[in-house]
Every structure is written in C-alpha cells, then in structure tokens.
Amino acid sequence: MAGIEHDPDRGVYGISVAAELAGTGVQNLRAYEARGLLLPDRSTGGTRRYSTNDVVMLRRIGDLLEAGLNLAGIAMVIPLQDENSRLRAQE
C-alpha cells in the first residue's frame, strides 16, 4: 500500500496538489477551511500546507458530502468521529 492510509504525517502538499488528491478544486478546500472543517498549516508566505492527515480529512469530507451531509453537519461529525475513535483506541 502506498499512499495515505494512516501514518500521522509524511508529506506536505500545496493547495493545488491537495485539491487533486481530494478530487475537487482549490476553491472548495478554502471553503472547507472557512467552515472550520480543517485547519491546514500556513507557510511563512501565507500559503497553506496540507499534511497527509489533512488529505485524509479531505477524503472523509468528500465521503460525508456524498452521504448527504452539509458542511455544517460535517463540522459537527468530524470531531465526534475523531473523539469516538480516540476513546475506542484508548483502552
């Protein structure tokens, strides 16, 4: 398996390549950030740096969008899923 499965962060991408990996446009990635779905790191010049973890997040966002959720719903579901998996992995 090569790619993004897990492993916290391995690569950092610009918004264009991140959009390609997410299967959408760069404008949508900024819209997701504006809605608080993710918070990519910013380089010194102010450009977004998307970690592999962020790319995984983008894939999950696309999945939830296909499921019929809107961005507001996704903004609530993402933290809950994250917390749930964290609590489950805790024991």
Determine, following the binding rule CB under 7 A, whether residue 24 of this chain makes contact with DNA.
Answer: yes
Q: Is 54 left (phi over 0), alpha (psi -120 to 50) or beta?
A: alpha
Give which of 12, 58, 51, 64 is closest to 33, Cα–Cα.
58
Which residues make Cβ contacts (< 8 Å) with residue 87, sequence separation at least 6?
Answer: none
Determine, following the binding rule CB under 7 A, whether residue 11 of this chain makes contact with DNA.
Answer: no
In whole angstroms, the minimum distance from the beta carbon of 63 to DNA comes to 11
Query: Among residues 7 and 31, whose Cβ is nearest to DNA?
Result: 31
In whole angstroms, the minimum distance from the beta carbon of 91 to DNA comes to 34
Phi, psi of 31 (to 5 degrees): -65, -40
Residues in the interface with DNA (CB under 7 A) total 21
Which one of residues 4, 12, 71, 77 is an interface residue with DNA (CB under 7 A)?
71
What is d(CA 73, CA 64) in angstroms, rounded to the nearest whole number?
Answer: 9
Determine, following the binding rule CB under 7 A, whether residue 67 of this chain makes contact with DNA.
Answer: no
Binding site for DNA (CB under 7 A): 14-17, 24-28, 30-32, 35, 46-48, 62, 65, 70-72
